[in-house]
Amino acid sequence: MKNTLRNIFHSPKFVIGFVIFFGLLLFTFIYPWFVMADPLEMVGQGNFFKPGTYVSVKDTVDSKYYTLNIQAKSANLGDHIEDKDKADMRDWLVNYGGVSQEEMDAADDNTLVALWLEHYDSKAKQKGLLASKKKAFVRLDKEIQKLASDADMIIAQENEDGELEETASVDSQQYVNTRDISNKRTFVLGTDNFGRDVLTELVQATKVSLKIGLIAGTVATLIGLLLGLLSGYIGGVFDDVIIFITNLFTVIPSFVLLILITYSVGQNARGVTLIATVIGATSWTWTCRSVRSQVISLRNRDHVNLSKLSGHSMMRIVLTDILPYVASYVVMAFILQISSGILAEAQLSMLGLGPSTTTTATLGQMMNWATLYAAHLNGSWWAYFPVVFVITIIAFSLNLMNTGLDQVFNPQLRD
């Protein structure tokens, strides 16, 4: 037994899978200690805010200013002009602005903008350029002019008479320290359609999904193991009945069964535990079949015969002489059942048949929301991609553990 454990932890595949899986599990437990906010709190007013740090505009105005000698203009321009436009600008400057190719090649964003401001003339002769393109350049020029403007801004406040009163003027060289701003919030993975922090939601969803996987896996393995052991060992009519039921469950696609059951349970009763149990109760067939076939071959082994001759009861023979031999297989099946349980929940929730709860999220539900609000169409990758990634990584780590175990328990597969 000790030796087997040592072998298992010598298998690199198992160890990698184990570390990933338990790392993830640990993270879901540790994260809430640091971020104590309610995962489903709607922070944002609106759909899908990009990942990043959000600071309060009002607080920024109120903060102390520092004057920094930084080329704020060109940084703005560099950030706000798209690469395509930059290429167009370069072309224009070389072709019509009289800038040499060498100078252009050496120019970075800052000098490019400077050159543009210096040389661009909408009235210049632009041979071979379409009228629409010419207009586009005029528009681009306006934009650049605006961005490059050094003009100061005025901050005004409404007084009692409803007139605006200047309180401060801000020039382009003024900065505030982000530490001075008291209200800010970082959304590492942005917000979702309801304006909820995706990261916090994801961590909670992972935890719930893992719980569903564990419950579903346990239920499926227990049912499968129990029925497999009994039908394999007892045989006869009992076996026929069990195998008939198993075949019935195998023949009817379990997903259809799952949909029917969850649908009939009703919207209000579908909690996390119930969904997990239902998933488990529809996916035990393969465990049952394989346990049964192993038990049948074990049943005729000599040590079982000897145990019978020693007068042991059936219960004892099954528990001490048969169960330990199938245990390694059952552990592997259990791991796969967890993984398929998580996937089944994701599938169900995608169809809107997942746990109907407003207090917890699951990975599948997050996917469902992202789909419903067309996150994949409006480019809000942060709403669904991290979820897909977490599902993949869970399935990957569990399968890796399973493969590692397989190699340990079936030495023929080694090398």
Partner 1 sequence: MSDAKRAECLRGKGVTKIFGMGDKKTVAVDHVDFDFREGEIISIVGESGSGKTTLSKMLLGLISVSEGQIYFQGQPRDIKGGKKKREYWKNIQAIFQDPFSSYNMFNKIDSVLLDCINMRGGKHLPYEEKFKLMSEACSFVNLEFKELTNKYPFELSGGQMQRLMIARIFLLKPKILLADEPTSMIDACSRSTILDMLLKLRDEINMTVIFITHDIGLAYYISDQVYIMEHGKFVEHGAAEECIIHPKAAYTKRLINDVPKIYEEWDLSTV
Q: CB–CB of 363/24 below 8 Å?
A: no
Phi-psi region of 124 (alpha: psi -120 to 50; beta: other; left: phi over 0): beta
Among residues 119, 185, 308, 376, the one that binds partner 1 under rule CB under 8 A: 308
Binding mask 249-288 for partner 1 (x = CB under 8 A): ----------------------------------------
7 binds partner 1 (CB under 8 A): no
Among residues 1, 106, 151, 315, the one that binds partner 1 under rule CB under 8 A: 1
Question: 3-class DSSP state for residue 338?
Answer: helix
Cβ 412 to partner 1 shortest distance, Å:
17
Which of 120/329 has CB closer to partner 1? 329
177 binds partner 1 (CB under 8 A): no
Cβ 307 to partner 1 shortest distance, Å:
7
302 binds partner 1 (CB under 8 A): yes
Binding residue count for partner 1, defined by CB under 8 A:
15
306 binds partner 1 (CB under 8 A): yes
Q: CB–CB of 287/221 below 8 Å?
A: yes
User: Both tokens of residue 129?
Assistant: 């350029």
Dihedral sign, Cα of residue 352, residue 355, residue 359, residue 361: negative
Cβ 35 to partner 1 shortest distance, Å:
46
Cβ 229 to partner 1 shortest distance, Å:
16
The interface region with partner 1, picked from 74-82, 266-274, 307-315, 333-341 by CB under 8 A, is 307-315
311 binds partner 1 (CB under 8 A): yes
Which of 142/303 has CB closer to partner 1? 303
Which of 177/305 has CB closer to partner 1? 305
Written as one string, the DSSP assignment of 65-134 is: PEE----HHHHHHHHHS-HHHHHHHHHHHHHTS---HHHHHH--HHHHHHHHHHH--TTS--TT--HHHH
Q: CB–CB of 258/349 below 8 Å?
A: no
Question: Hey, which residues does 67 pair with through a beta bridge?
Answer: 174
Cβ 1 to partner 1 shortest distance, Å:
8
Written as one string, the DSSP assignment of 222-256 is: HHHHHHHHHHHHH-HHHHHHHHHHHHHHHHS-HHH
The interface region with partner 1, picked from 157-165, 274-282, 303-311, 398-406 by CB under 8 A, is 303-311
The interface region with partner 1, picked from 101-109, 183-191, 225-233, 317-325 by CB under 8 A, is 317-325
Q: Which helix (H) or strand (E) holds 341?
A: helix 323-350
Q: Which of residues 321-340 bind partner 1 (CB under 8 A)?
A: 321, 324-325
User: Which residues here bind partner 1, judged by CB under 8 A?
Assistant: 1, 301-303, 305-311, 320-321, 324-325
